[in-house]
């Protein structure tokens, strides 16, 4: 194993980061070079991503990182920018939490056939899948004159290199990708009235895309390498598991809860349970469900004026009685931005649960409810896929949340292995490192590097199964 300096660009829902990795024999160190806010902007009736502010943050970070061999870019899924025939961006990308897709998914899915959609694309029904965003945008001048559609990491890569392409882990989240044929689902596009010439050629993670444009002033003339450009794909690469008997929770704004498989599960039961089959690195399948995640807490904090002391709030939440109030975090009422404590109070009222009194009780309701939703998804993933697990890996920012990790272990009746917090950036780096010949082997070999170098905390289940079972029944309503 030789050594290298590599940069990971990781765009999250609330901030973007440029991370510098120094990787060599027995060593993988990650430094945050630059973090910049990701502040969506509502203009008129539409919620947009401020893509140019993000791009500026990326360039600032890459210029500050010093010379690197390569760069990999990942971000959230499904959202896109449109380019005209000259390659200029047509408008600001729209945020997946924008209301333009309200009511669209149901109609489109019926028109195309729900079973056909599932057996072709393997995707769970989320109202903001790219298919539904494009259906909502049908007939708009921007879409009519668009020449190309690029998902967010592919757009950044295009600006960095001038190269057009669609990385497959993220392409697989559009609901316009044929999972088994590993091509764009052009038949579905035709029937949905979506032009297939919008979509650039697909590329696999690990592909060396090309050098960064010299005029950008990024030191060392690095190459951009395709990584698992869907942040969840990179996070799953970054799970420090030893074998295949594990579930993962990529826990941040969302909790992405599931197992890693060799083949998709496209059964009717799986469709009814709304589990997704997303394409992973090295031909794997991310079989998972989106659980609403720490978004409930983040939006509550925002409503309370960004409560100054989150650790104190979590300590006070830990002292609150367990399961006093539970809600179903996956209720679509929680999806758009807004006053989350008021929505939680409403949901409790509707379900006949006590209304949490004050921030500590609200936070306890959120954490108990998330632990229950984790339990439900871990159990269903096992039942539907036949893959049984011995442990649950919690990676991402949520791995720092001791209360959530302990309650998740208790709820699932399984040990939780928490960390790394930076799984997404690490997964991004490992795929670049393999492309550079610094590490080799399959995902198990890459994950061994993480087990040697990263900090992982173990939480033992203290479960009272009957109590968790009863609380889950209440959450399900």
Is the Cβ of residue 173 or residue 325 nearer to ligand LFR in the bound state?
Answer: 173
Is the Cβ of residue 284 or residue 406 nearer to ligand LFR in the bound state?
Answer: 284
Least distance (Å) between residue 189 CB and ligand LFR: 20
Least distance (Å) between residue 378 CB and ligand LFR: 17
Is the Cβ of residue 124 or residue 432 nearer to ligand LFR in the bound state?
Answer: 124
Least distance (Å) between residue 261 CB and ligand LFR: 16
Least distance (Å) between residue 254 CB and ligand LFR: 5
The b/e string for 394-415 (b: 16+ C-beta within 10 A; e otherwise) is bbbbbbbbebbbbbbbbbbbbe
Least distance (Å) between residue 325 CB and ligand LFR: 27
Least distance (Å) between residue 335 CB and ligand LFR: 11
Residues classed as catalytic: 231
Is the Cβ of residue 131 or residue 360 nearer to ligand LFR in the bound state?
Answer: 131
Q: Tell me whether residue 1 is exposed, middle or buried, using C-beta atoms within 10 angstroms of its C-beta: 0 to 12, 13 to 18, 19 or more.
A: middle
- Residue 182: which region, alpha, beta or left (left: phi > 0; alpha: psi -120 to 50)? left
Least distance (Å) between residue 422 CB and ligand LFR: 14
Is the Cβ of residue 218 or residue 237 nearer to ligand LFR in the bound state?
Answer: 237
Is the Cβ of residue 328 or residue 472 nearer to ligand LFR in the bound state?
Answer: 328
Least distance (Å) between residue 13 CB and ligand LFR: 6
Is the Cβ of residue 230 or residue 387 nearer to ligand LFR in the bound state?
Answer: 230
Is the Cβ of residue 231 or residue 330 nearer to ligand LFR in the bound state?
Answer: 231
Distance (Å, whole) CA 9 – CA 20: 9
Q: Write out the residues near ligand LFR by the rule CB under 6 A.
A: 76-78, 96, 230-232, 253-254, 256, 290
């Amino acid at each position: 194993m030789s050594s290298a300096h590599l940069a990971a660009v990781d765009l999250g829902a609330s901030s973007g980061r440029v991370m510098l990795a120094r990787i060599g024999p027995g060593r993988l160190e990650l430094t945050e070079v630059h973090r910049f806010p990701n502040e969506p902007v509502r203009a008129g009736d539409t919620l947009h991503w401020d893509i140019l502010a993000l791009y500026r943050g990326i360039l600032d970070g890459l210029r500050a990182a010093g010379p690197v061999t390569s760069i990999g870019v990942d971000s959230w899924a499904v959202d896109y920018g449109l380019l005209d025939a000259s390659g200029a961006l047509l408008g600001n990308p729209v945020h997946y939490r924008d209301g333009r897709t309200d009511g669209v998914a149901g109609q489109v899915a019926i028109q195309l056939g729900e079973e056909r959609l599932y057996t072709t694309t393997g995707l769970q029904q989320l109202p903001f899948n790219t298919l539904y965003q494009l259906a909502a945008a049908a007939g708009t001048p921007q879409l009519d004159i668009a020449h190309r559609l690029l998902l967010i990491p592919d757009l950044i890569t295009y600006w960095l290199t001038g190269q057009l392409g669609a990385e497959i882990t993220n392409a697989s989240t559009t609901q316009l990708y044929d999972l088994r044929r590993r091509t764009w689902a052009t038949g579905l596009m035709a029937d949905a009235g979506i032009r297939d010439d919008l979509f650039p050629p697909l590329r696999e993670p690990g592909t060396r895309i090309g050098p960064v444009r010299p005029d950008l002033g990024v030191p060392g003339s690095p190459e951009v390498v395709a990584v698992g450009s869907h942040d969840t794909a990179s996070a799953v690469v970054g799970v420090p598991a030893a074998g295949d008997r594990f579930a993962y929770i990529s826990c941040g704004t969302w909790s992405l809860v599931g197992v890693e498989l060799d083949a998709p599960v496209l059964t009717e039961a799986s469709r009814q349970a709304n589990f997704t089959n997303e394409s992973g690195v090295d031909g794997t399948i991310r079989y998972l469900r989106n659980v609403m995640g720490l978004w409930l807490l983040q939006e509550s904090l925002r409503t309370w004026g960004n409560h100054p002391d989150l650790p104190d709030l979590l300590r006070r939440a830990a002292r609150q009685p367990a399961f006093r109030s539970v809600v179903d975090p996956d209720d679509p009422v929680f999806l758009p931005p807004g006053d989350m404590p008021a929505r939680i109070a409403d949901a409790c009222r509707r379900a006949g649960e006590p209304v949490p009194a004050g921030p500590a009780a609200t936070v306890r309701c959120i954490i108990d409810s998330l632990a229950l939703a984790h339990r439900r998804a871990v159990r269903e993933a096992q039942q539907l896929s036949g893959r049984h697990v011995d442990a649950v890996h919690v990676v991402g920012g949520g791995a720092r949340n001791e209360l959530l990790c302990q309650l998740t272990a208790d709820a699932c009746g399984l040990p939780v292995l928490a960390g790394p917090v930076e799984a997404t950036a690490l997964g991004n780096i490992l795929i670049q490192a393999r492309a550079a010949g610094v590490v080799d082997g399959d995902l198990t070999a890459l994950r061994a590097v993480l087990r040697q170098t990263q900090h992982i905390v173990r939480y033992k289940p203290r479960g009272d199964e009957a109590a968790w079972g009863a609380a889950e029944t209440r959450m399900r309503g």
